[in-house]
Chains A and B, each alone.
Chain A
Amino acid sequence: MSKRDNSEIQDASQEASWIDVNHLHKIYNTRGGGQTHALADINFSVKKGEFISIVGPSGCGKTTLLNILAGLITRSEGSAKVSGREVTKPLPEIGMVFQAPTLLPWRTILENVMIPVEVQKLDKKVYLGKAKELLKLAGLEGFEDKYPSELSGGMQQRAGICRALVHSPSVLLMDEPFGALDAMTREYMNLELLRIWKESNQTIALVTHSISEAVFLSDRVIVMSPRPGRIAEIIDINLPRPRSLEMMASDAAGVYVQKIRHYFNAANVIE
């Protein structure tokens, strides 16, 4: 399929799958000569503009799954496609936010945000405006020329989100991006993320440890179970948008959280 056909399909329907995972397996060879089945028969797809979360107890392979989508590790079997392309190496269509902000301390915030543009040799003049716009959107206006050490952890992580979005990727992958933040900052960052998501119209796949965070943010939550990592259930979150923190106290939200927690309990993992 040529690139042109591909883009026509994407334009034709909002329902086109932007992430498409079919019968995906990942088997690691262990040091002792044995094998670990990290992911077993993973199937799911994500529509354009959809926000999905992947939750599950430790060792369920959720980070492995994200790393396969990011092109960082190879799959053993099956297929993983992002906007119609089979992922075999890191694709420019992907932006990623990491557990730590991972900003380079010798670069200013703006220079950090421009890393994907530089690395992919895109036109800097064109994307400089985009970068500044994103920083403004993330509430970092005026911090463009500061160094990472001059920013708080939450601000650094927001800069990391800007960096993931600067080259206009079609899919944003987030690997426990708020795990290192305190509870207050985390709630604030969740709201910020929803705002940025709404304005940028991204497709987002978020890996998180927090069940309530997954329910609060997502259209759908993929619940995984460990050994081997497989999908236990995909739960539609039918809470109205825009979402507010108060909504998390509602019965409807509580039911979703309980339902997901049930899988964690079944796996004998206390989160």
Chain B
Amino acid sequence: MKRLRNKPEYLLVPAVFVFFTLLWENLVNVLELSESILPTPSRIFEALVKQFDNPIFWANLWVTTQEALMGFAAATLFAIIAGTFISQIKIVEKTTLPYLVGFQAIPKVALAPIFIIWFGFGMTSKVVMAAVIAFFPILINIIEGLKSAESDQIRMLRVFGASRTQIFFKVQVPAALPFFFAGLDVGILLAILGAVVGEFLGSQEGLGNMVLVFQYNFETPGMFAILLVLSLMGIIAHIIVKALQRKFAFWGDNTNVVGN
């Protein structure tokens, strides 16, 4: 029943894809654009398939995945700790808030060169970059989430004799979960972005590094192929986060979440 009702987009989404791919393919052919400027979708697909046989590609994919995931995990961990303190203790919130706003105002991508000086050309600098860029949206959602518990729900628990700790774990934490997952959803994409940006600025491996190598050789189809792989990574991460959200925060479908 649900499948039937959703049918229009099941058809429309592939149709739009096919339409624009064909348009792109024919436009490039008709205008006789150079491949190094804009390759056709079929050439990009070829370049992608070629990479599947390339062990270096898989090694690079693994490196970027690790960087993004480790950065994401670190960002999540710190956001949970900081978010708990900030939301629960008024004075901590008041003290840290101006610094958080200031920190958020820094274009974090601009920190990458500094991280490369501090942590070198290896994976560490990319992990740090991914963590720094993913941290803020996760933190903000945790803070908002922990504050989102309805005062009626808290009052109800108080009437039945709940302590502050009980109110925190029985109402505030569950109420925060939909926000938390929304933060993770934004955060994981930013972590991938952070890892790739880090690789752009100085690296020997990773998908970002591969893009640079392709650029150096004017192999534009290869650059597009890696772009496709990065998008796919993002989509898979998003699907996993959404699946976790449906499982652990099934009630929060309509909650207003921050940054989403």
Given contacts A71-B159, A102-B153, A104-B153, contact A119 B166 (CB under 8 A): yes
Given contacts A102-B153, A106-B251, contact A120 B159 (CB under 8 A): no
Given the complex of chains A and B, what is the CA–CA distance between A119 and B174 in angstroms?
16
- Would you call A102 and B160 a contact (CB within 8 A)? no
Q: Which residues on B sit within 8 Å (CB–CB) of A138?
A: none
Q: Write the nearest CB–CB distance from B162 to chain A, whole angstroms.
A: 4
Q: Which residues on B sit within 8 Å (CB–CB) of A91?
A: 161
Q: Write the nearest CB–CB distance from B139 to chain A, whole angstroms.
A: 23
Given the complex of chains A and B, what is the CA–CA distance between A30 and B34 in angstroms?
76
Bitwise, B151-188 to A at CB < 8 A (1) or not (0) is 01101111111100010001100100100000000000
Q: Which residues on A sit within 8 Å (CB–CB) of B157?
A: 115, 119
Given contacts A105-B251, A119-B166, contact A100 B160 (CB under 8 A): no
Q: Which residues on B sit within 8 Å (CB–CB) of A118?
A: 170
Q: Write the nearest CB–CB distance from B42 to chain A, whole angstroms.
A: 48
Say whether A96 faces chain B, with CB atoms less than 8 Å apart.
Answer: yes
Q: Write the nearest CB–CB distance from A222 to chain B, whole angstroms.
A: 21
Bitwise, B50-92 to A at CB < 8 A (1) or not (0) is 0000000000000000000000000000000000000000000
Q: Which residues on A sit within 8 Å (CB–CB) of B152?
A: 98, 100, 102
Query: Which residues of chain A from 82 to 112 have a CB within 8 Å of any chain B CB?
Result: 90-92, 94, 96, 98, 100, 102, 104-106
Given the complex of chains A and B, what is the CA–CA distance between A120 and B156 in angstroms?
13
Say whether A72 faces chain B, with CB atoms less than 8 Å apart.
Answer: yes
- B-side interface mostly: helix
Q: Write the nearest CB–CB distance from B165 to chain A, whole angstroms.
A: 11
Given the complex of chains A and B, what is the CA–CA distance between A22 and B158 in angstroms?
25
Say whether A149 faces chain B, with CB atoms less than 8 Å apart.
Answer: yes
Query: Which residues of chain A from 251 to 271 have a CB within 8 Å of any chain B CB?
Result: none
- Would you call A70 and B153 a contact (CB within 8 A)? no
Q: Which residues on A sit within 8 Å (CB–CB) of B153?
A: 102, 104
Given the complex of chains A and B, what is the CA–CA distance between A147 and B253 in angstroms?
14
Say whether A154 faces chain B, with CB atoms less than 8 Å apart.
Answer: no
- Would you call A119 and B251 a contact (CB within 8 A)? no
Say whether A153 faces chain B, with CB atoms less than 8 Å apart.
Answer: no
Given the complex of chains A and B, what is the CA–CA distance between A98 and B177 in angstroms?
25
Closest to A120 in B: B161
Q: Write the nearest CB–CB distance from A163 to chain B, whole angstroms.
A: 8
Given the complex of chains A and B, what is the CA–CA distance between A100 and B250 in angstroms?
21
Given the complex of chains A and B, what is the CA–CA distance between A217 and B221 in angstroms?
79
Say whether A228 faces chain B, with CB atoms less than 8 Å apart.
Answer: no
Given contacts A90-B161, A119-B170, contact A102 B251 (CB under 8 A): no
Bitwise, A227-261 to B at CB < 8 A (1) or not (0) is 00000000000000000000000000000000000
Q: Which residues on A sit within 8 Å (CB–CB) of B174?
A: 104, 106
Q: Write the nearest CB–CB distance from B129 to chain A, whole angstroms.
A: 35
Closest to A117 in B: B160
Query: Which residues of chain A from 151 to 202 have a CB within 8 Å of any chain B CB?
Result: 167
Bitwise, B175-207 to A at CB < 8 A (1) or not (0) is 001000000000000000000000000000000
Q: Which residues on B sit within 8 Å (CB–CB) of A100?
A: 152
Given the complex of chains A and B, what is the CA–CA distance between A72 and B177 in angstroms?
28
- Would you call B160 and A72 a contact (CB within 8 A)? no
Given the complex of chains A and B, what is the CA–CA distance between A147 and B252 in angstroms?
13
Closest to B155 in A: A72
Q: Which residues on B sit within 8 Å (CB–CB) of A116?
A: 160-161
Given the complex of chains A and B, what is the CA–CA distance between A120 and B174 in angstroms?
19
- Would you call B159 and A72 a contact (CB within 8 A)? yes
Taking A98-B152, A115-B156, A118-B170 as given, write out 4 further A-B residue pairs in contact, using a Cβ cutoff of 8 Å, ordered by the A residue number: A96-B159, A98-B155, A106-B249, A116-B160
Residues of chain A whose beta carbon lies under 8 Å from any beta carbon of chain B: 70-72, 90-92, 94, 96, 98, 100, 102, 104-106, 115-116, 118-120, 147, 149, 167
Chosen A-B contacts, 19 in total, with CB atoms closer than 8 Å, are A72-B155, A72-B159, A90-B161, A100-B152, A102-B153, A102-B155, A102-B156, A104-B171, A104-B174, A105-B251, A105-B252, A106-B174, A106-B250, A106-B251, A115-B156, A119-B161, A119-B162, A120-B160, A120-B161
Residues of chain B whose beta carbon lies under 8 Å from any beta carbon of chain A: 150, 152-153, 155-162, 166, 170-171, 174, 177, 249-252
